[in-house]
Structure 1
């Protein structure tokens, strides 16, 4: 009987230690993921999140992968898949056609600003010059930050070559 109780106690203790180690591992794993993410460039981060698959396809179609993997620093206002879905029907498909590559490059580079502009920097400016050449308007109203007609829904995703701010609408340069 005594040996059964000791064995049961040992199993219980081993189980508790396993759960404790697992909980610690999860914390370490999350920290490792965050550290690894900051070592990824803006393209790698976007490609690692299914919410940005439309943007990643567009970047590939435009031939901008290597440019956006360069040293930087750059700031990218990254539209979600839902942001692309808000565009009029057929717009994304039309932009992805090889004959519209120049137009696609214009749209994508309009989402990129040279330099690393963090959320604390963004609230102190009213515009930023995009790589496309036109200025992006920045409006701050309390906790809400807008770039043109897009709301910034997530800020300061650090990348090895800059920073990403997630937006809910594709911003378009003036024609």
Structure 2
């Protein structure tokens, strides 16, 4: 009988004892044993998480003696990420990601020590085993986690006890920086859905997934909404020019942006970035784009988020 089956047997025995009456000499039933984090995850149906743990060879970490806190994505969370990345299901996602990628992603869900819901520090950087950081904040009755790809995940259950720590359940797979390439990073974040669709339509997904390094100034969906009447009129060649006008053929972090100096793009046309709060990018139109978030690192470069689609000469 495996260890977790023994645990379930113990649960059944404890329930049976609890239903029996022994008169004045009643004895208090012994506490029901609780399995380790891996066993509790299996008992609660975290199958995709455990498949990823197995491929990453991290089972001994979850079954070890060190106290840990695990923010555990559901099977549906793994399935949703698979869909966003163009994969069939959670199994395909685990198969597609390398052991190194899975190790970094899974370690990003684990915090050293036992941190119960009442102890979670809100709006404060929480350091994970992957050495990445995320923050938890309250939103009405919900607790949300903001990961390094600027995505919000909801904590749907808390304080699931294990013998070596505690599990909090989350409805999305948390993602650290630097694990996915630029296209995957955009695919994973719903605010870039229209950018991804344009990249696919222009057949640029392969080029932007390559070795790089690249810098992409990524417009959010509302930026594409502002030119919704224009996009359908563009030829594939024009769309390619528009998209490559957002790409620099080098990794340029925010601290290295040459403000006030023309910057060459893969479209063969320059943009000019001005310092400010926030910084802005001038294109061929009268309205500048604002840089609203910076330094989202990908495996092949970096992404800066902008609130306007840059328009080159077409």
The interval holding the TM-score normalised by the smaller chain is: 0.7 to 0.9
For the aligned residue pairs, the C-alpha RMSD in angstroms reads 2.8
Distance in 2 separating the partners of 1:57 and 1:70: 18
Q: 1:145 aligns with which of 265, 279, 282?
A: 279
| Cα displacement (A) at 1:60 | 0.7
Distance in 1 separating the partners of 2:108 and 2:186: 23
- Contact kept in structure 2, 1:123 and 1:145, CA below 8 Å: no
Q: TM-score, normalised by structure 1?
A: 0.80
Q: Which secondary structure state, in structure 2, belongs to the residue aligned with residue 106 of structure 1?
A: helix
Distance in 1 separating the partners of 2:67 and 2:289: 41
Q: 1:48 aligns with which of 185, 188, 197?
A: 188
Residue in structure 1 matched with residue 257 of structure 2 by the alignment: 122
**Count of aligned residue pairs for this structure pair:** 161
Residues 61-113 of structure 1 deviation map (CA, whole Å, 9 limit, x = unaligned): 101111111111000000000010111x4212233xxxx10000000000000
Return the structure number with greater relative CO, CA threshold 8 A, min gap 6. Answer: 1
Residues 95-145 of structure 1 deviation map (CA, whole Å, 9 limit, x = unaligned): 3xxxx100000000000001000010126453311110111110112x311
Where structure 2 has 5 or more consecutive residues not aligned to the other structure, the ranges are 1-24, 41-65, 72-106, 111-127, 131-173, 283-287
Q: 2:301 aligns with which of 150, 162, 171?
A: 162
Pair 1:25–1:134, CA change in 2 (3 A): same
Residue in structure 2 matched with residue 25 of structure 1 by the alignment: 70
Where structure 1 has 5 or more consecutive residues not aligned to the other structure, the ranges are none
Within-5 A mapping of 1:1-175: 3-4=27-28, 7=30, 10=31, 24-26=69-71, 28-29=108-109, 31=128, 33-35=174-176, 37-87=177-227, 89-95=228-234, 100-122=235-257, 124=259, 126-141=261-276, 143-148=277-282, 149-175=288-314
Q: Which secondary structure state, in structure 2, belongs to the residue aligned with residue 55 of structure 1?
A: helix
